[in-house]
Structure 1
């Protein structure tokens, strides 16, 4: 079922969403100082490309630089990206087939708001308690 949902997701917005995150990652990496944001964008792009069967978890306590980086990200990009996820999730909820897609879109909001200190892992490992 996850494979079918991932293919439907990919066709109805996941590819464009992932490309947007990749473009943001490239721009962030070009600016040198924002390379951590670029790496986070690439990580989110992979999640946006194939979200079903994976989940976002905290890596553990984050340092002062990650906290500061998350605040900067939240102000300049995170809020706008989260609004975009909400706005695109609303039409997905209109059809029965789109409900899981809308839920997946809403699941991306926490990582898009504060990406530093997060890790994307397979859902099976997280549920079984096999976190690295």
Structure 2
């Protein structure tokens, strides 16, 4: 079932969402000072391609630099990304077929709001 949901997600929204995060990651890596956010954007892009069967957890040992970076990210882009995921998730939940896709979009809210100090792992 996860494979079917991931394929539907990939076709309907995952590819474009991941592409947006990859472009953002490339831009952040070109601007040298924003490389940590670029790497986080690549991590989110990977998650956006295949979200079913994976989850986001806090990375042990992520300390004050991650906290400071997340505060900057929230102010610059995190709020808008989280709102975008909330709105698109709510719109996807309008149809019965879209409910799992909407839930996957809701799962992306925390990592798009605060991406530093997170890991994407397989669900057990």
TM range (shorter): over 0.9
How far did 1:62 drift? 2.2
Alpha-carbon deviation of 1:93? 0.5
Q: Tell me the secondary structure at the aligned position of residue 120 of structure 2.
A: strand
Which residues in structure 2 correspond to 1:23-42 (within 5 Å)? 23-42=23-42
Taking structure 1 as the reference length, the TM-score comes to 0.91
User: For residue 79 of structure 1, what is the aligned residue in structure 2?
Assistant: 79
Unaligned runs of 5+ in 2: none
Match of 1:26, SS state, is: helix
| TM-aligned CA deviation for residue 32 of structure 1 | 0.3
1:52-71 matched pairs, under 5 angstroms: 52-71=52-71
Aligned to 1:119, the other structure's residue is in SS state strand
- How many residues align? The count is 124
- Distance in 1, Cα, partners of 2:80 & 2:41: 14
2-side partners of 1:79 and 1:91: how far apart? 18
Q: In structure 2, how many angstroms separate the alpha carbons of the residues matched to 1:49 and 1:88?
A: 16
Give the 4+ runs in structure 1 shifted more than 4 A.
none
The two structures, once aligned, show a CA RMSD in angstroms of 0.8
The answer for unaligned runs of 5 or more in structure 1 is: 125-132
TM-score, L = length of structure 2: 0.97
Post-superposition CA distance 1:95-129 (Å, at most 9, x none): 111000000000000001111110000002xxxxx
Distance 1:59 1:41 in 2: 16
